[in-house]
Amino acid sequence: MRTGWNVAEVIGVTQETRTARTLRLRLPGLTGHRPGQHVDVRLTAEDGYTAVRSYSVASALPGDELELTVEELDDGEVSPYLVHQVAVGDQLEVRGPVGGWFVWDPADPSPVQLIAGGSGVVPLMAMIRAHAAASPGSTAPFRLLYSVRSPDSGYYSAELDELARSPLLSVTYVYTREAPAGSGITPHRLDAATLLAAVLPVDDHPAFFICGATAFVETVADWLVRAGYPADRIKTERYGGTGSRP
């Protein structure tokens, strides 16, 4: 059992967007993790001051490696360091992966509807990757509804395009500030009509995983329940902060 704080080594860094970076970590002794779990990262300053933040695991790797995608927060104590300074070969204190509730079970045949607001896509990407890795083991249809500010602010774009060529995954983007050039799409925040047109129908009894800023998650979950989706099929993970409503 992995409990308490362990030392992970940074073995790779990839710029994901202008403000986000993916870190690949090696955590000796780790034997995979469940899709949707998170780790806690602890930084300690020279004066002993510590700061702990939680980051969802983005990867679905079987061994002792995992990836985190970190978005830089303007007033962050931890994220600017992880996005701009930490380098391959550095060490980080990590607790986890933990959290057995906001996870997708590859043995569950239910259709899955994922809904992401911004960086909330990270744990949902772990589920998509685990689903693709389990194929042809898992025939559960997956859908992702992904709300992004602009085309260049979405994570994993090329990989999602590639994975969506499978009949088992479809991806729908909602652009809130800026739509792709020449697309004719008017940027708008997610609304109930757009949501209900994009998600799997009630009769499919989908399992929902919704992740994003608190207001986004609560508003979306509320629209789904009002539309007749059972609340006990909706799992949410709030990223905190004062993110905008959809």
Partner 1 sequence: MTGPGDDGDAGSDYLDGNAAAGPLSEVFAVDVTVASGRCAHCGRTGELATARVYPNSHGLLLRCPGCAEILLRLVDTGHSLAVDLHGMSYLELQRDAPGSQQKPSPAA
Footprint of partner 1 on this chain (CB under 8 A)?
1-4, 30-35, 37-40, 51-55, 60-62, 77, 95-103, 105-107, 130, 133-134, 137, 214, 236-242
Spatial contact of 142 and 128, defined as CB atoms under 8 Å apart: yes
CB nearer to partner 1: give 110 or 194.
Answer: 110
**Residue 97 Cβ, how far from partner 1 at the closest point, in Å?**
6
Q: Could you give the CA distance from residue 139 to residue 131 in angstroms, rounded to a whole number? A: 9
**Residue 246 Cβ, how far from partner 1 at the closest point, in Å?**
17
In this structure, which amino acid lies at residue 154? G
CA 80 to chain centre: 19
CB nearer to partner 1: give 188 or 245.
Answer: 245
**Residue 40 Cβ, how far from partner 1 at the closest point, in Å?**
4
Short-list 105, 148, 149, CA closest to 130: 105
CB nearer to partner 1: give 198 or 215.
Answer: 215
Neighbour-count burial for 35-60, b at 16+ CB within 10 Å, e otherwise: bbbbbebebeeeeeeeeebbbbbbbb
**Residue 104 Cβ, how far from partner 1 at the closest point, in Å?**
10
CB nearer to partner 1: give 22 or 175.
Answer: 22
